[in-house]
Amino acid sequence: MSTLRIRPDKGTVPELNIPKYKLEVLEKIVSSDRIMEQTKNQIIRKLTDGSSCCICRGIPSHEIRYTGDGATVIERYCWCIERVYSREQVL
């Protein structure tokens, strides 16, 4: 497994703990050709208590939080996190 490189402002990278039964439902919905993308995104938001993957709009597995100047930026990623953040080791 590669290590994750996060931006210089030192965010945290907790792994999301989505219950297995919710993951099964989400995987069926995301793989369906009969459901519109907007509806898939809404269902992902509802069942994961947050947004879908920032890159592909898939089911998120990691969340990155950056804090600074009194604000928090939250980004959620599926396996795309490796493609985006695995260039340099920071963690």
Higher-confidence residue of 48 and 4: namely 48
Distance between CA atoms of residues 84 and 38, nearest Å? 24
- The string of pLDDT tens digits covering residues 27-43 is 999 999 999 999 999 99
d(CA 29, CA 38): 12
Bigger pLDDT: 45 vs 9: 45
Amino acid at 70: G
Element (H, E) at 65: strand 62-68
Report the number of secondary-structure helices (H) and strands (E) in the chain: 3, 2
The two three-digit tokens of residue 29, written as one number: 């919905």
Amino acid identity of residue 68, one-letter, is G
Q: Whole-model pTM above 0.85?
A: no
